[in-house]
A and B are shown apart, each in its own frame.
Chain A
Amino acid sequence: MSDSHIILEKVVYLRGQRCIFDEVSIEIPRGKIVAVMGPSGAGKTTLLKLIGGQIQPESGSVRVDGLEIPRLSRKQLFDVRKTMGMMFQSGALFSDLSVFENVAFPLRIHTNLPDDMIRDLVLLKLQSVGLRGARRLFPSELSGGMSRRVALARAIALDPEIIMYDEPFTGLDPIAMGVIVDLIKTLNSAYGTTSIIVSHDIPETAGIADIIYIISGGKVIGSGSPKELFEQDSPRVHQFIKGLPDGPVPFHYPADDYEEELMRVPDAERLF
């Protein structure tokens, strides 16, 4: 791991009183697919926002290509972001623009290319996600899988060095899921982009990731290749990978003792 593209070192991030990250350190090597996994609410999306500089950590460092993200000026930050593409969970397509204009958006903003060149580039990107034919549709007319593919086309419009996927598999039917998995793999091998996947879908992620980090309770509880993780015997990792309902990560939200609560006088419960 000599060439690390993104390094997070002892990152602490608080949301209100709650500690989302407690000295989390993650290294993402160049050109690899790295997955960050963990139960819902473990702050996986927060991680992407930290890398994109949308939020600042309490302490610790976030470096992209050696640049200290939290210290950058607004302008420098916007320059760094041009090298990043991000695919949001909901697609986050601009609802007032057509599919074509959505993909063209970053090109129009950041380049001075003539219109016919932008057209060729957009069609190329749409072709690579298989939606060239849908370019005149509007986001409201797309299915979940399609809008995510358009979002992917938009994310790669500027040929970024880093692509971040926020829950790319959630809520998709098996076919759409297969399409997305394939796309991520192809994009990574074809362009050599560093890919970060944030997800809790184990089989799909494990199928394409080179390295997996598992975050839970604000800490990295396990990391390594998918194979290594499956063989690990740490009970927390074990529970997550195997998808067991109860274990070190409790099934129950913290509550009073069940039996005791049932026996309590009902009118003491001031619900209304």
Chain B
Amino acid sequence: MLSRLRRIGQYSLVALATLGRAGHIWWQAIWRRPRLRNLPLLIRQIYQLGVLSVLIIAMSGFSIGAVLALQGYNQLVKYGSESALGLGVALVLVMEIGPVVSGLLFAGRAGSAVTAEIGLMKATEQLSSMEMMGVDPLQRIVAPRLWAGFIVMPILALMFSIIGIWGASLVGVDWLGVYEGAFWSAMQEGVDFRSHVLKGIIKSVVFGIVVTWIAVFQGYDTIPTSEGIAAATTRTVVYSAVAVLVLDFFLTLVMFNF
């Protein structure tokens, strides 16, 4: 009993220490004045994290939009209200699925890459040598990635939503024959920019920050061996996924006035 208590204590201390290190890295990297000469680094990371994720985001967004239209149509047609299809799909995509699924995809595609890259830099002593050259790796390696995640994630989520809605309109309007005018006007009337779209964007910004933070920290804190990097990459994906889903719940709770 006593030993179990002690083990719980130890685990929580380790967890607290980890959180402390993660917070320290974030603080050190973000709250330092960003330098203009580091702008090319940021652009490179936006390319790595954002542009390279566009394809997977587009494909997933299209599929999910199309599926939502199929399933939604099946249910709505029973009540004769298939004209609300556009509205339903748009609301679900903009508020929930857009930010959440693109957050998950971002964690799998970009987060894992960031962890592996930084972990490898650590294992090959690149971070150490940078430090010995008087360059702070937190500023040169970590900060651009954190900023890039912050910038890129809402863009990806917006793209996801739009491509999803487009996919839904292809299925709903062009294939299942929902009246086009009703599809779009119900959407325009029911979706409100401030109370739906903006809240979705806020969610995606939060997910972007959290996922890149986890990815960067796992890479930076990894045990510099091949097993260590593999484990850290896995942890990035798992922790990010859980974080996105749990945070989504709380953000919804707070923002949509429950």
C-alpha gap A89/B125 in the complex (Å): 9
Q: A90-B125, A92-B125 are in contact. List 11 more A-B contacts (CB 8 A).
A: A49-B128, A78-B135, A79-B134, A81-B131, A82-B134, A88-B128, A92-B126, A106-B135, A109-B135, A110-B133, A154-B133
A95 with B126, Cβ < 8 A, contacts A78-B134, A110-B134 known: yes
The tally of CB-CB contacts under 8 A between chains A and B is: 49
| A interface footprint on B107-122 (CB within 8 Å = 1, 0 otherwise) | 0000000000000110
Among B120, B132, B135, the residue within 8 A (CB) of A54 is: B132
Residue of A nearest to B126 (CB): A92
Q: Closest residue of chain B to A166, judged by CB?
A: B125
Pairwise interchain contact A81-B134, C-beta atoms closer than 8 A: yes
**B129 close to A86 (CB less than 8 A):** yes
Residues of A within 8 A of B135 (CB): 78, 105-106, 109
A68-102 interface code vs B (CB 8 A; 1 in, 0 out)? 00000000001101101010111011110000000
Residue pair A81, B125 in contact (C-beta under 8 Å)? no
Quick one: closest B residue to A88, CB to CB? B125
Q: Is A145 part of the contact surface with B, judged by Cβ < 8 Å?
A: no
The 12 listed contacts between A and B (C-beta, < 8 Å) are A78-B134, A82-B133, A82-B134, A86-B132, A90-B124, A94-B130, A95-B120, A95-B121, A95-B124, A106-B133, A109-B135, A154-B133
Residues of B within 8 A of A78 (CB): 134-136
**A54 with B128, Cβ < 8 A, contacts A81-B134, A105-B133 known:** yes
> What are the residues of chain A within 8 A of B129 when measuring CB–CB?
86, 88, 92, 151
Binding site for B on A (CB under 8 A): 49, 52, 54, 78-79, 81-82, 84, 86, 88-90, 92-95, 105-106, 109-110, 151, 154
Cβ contact within 8 Å between A93 and B131 = no
Q: Chain B residues near A79 (CB, 8 Å)?
A: 134
Residues in B whose Cβ lies below 8 Å from that of A90: 124-125
B126 touches A93 (CB 8 A): yes
A70 to B124, CA, bound (A): 25
* B-side contacts of A92, CB under 8 Å: 124-126, 128-129
Question: What's the minimum C-beta distance from B36 to chain A, rounded to whole angstroms?
Answer: 14
Chain A residues whose CB sits within 8 angstroms of the CB of B134 once the complex forms? 78-79, 81-82, 106, 109-110
Alpha-carbon distance A84/B27, docked complex (angstroms): 28
Query: In the complex, A105→B131 CA distance in Å?
Result: 12
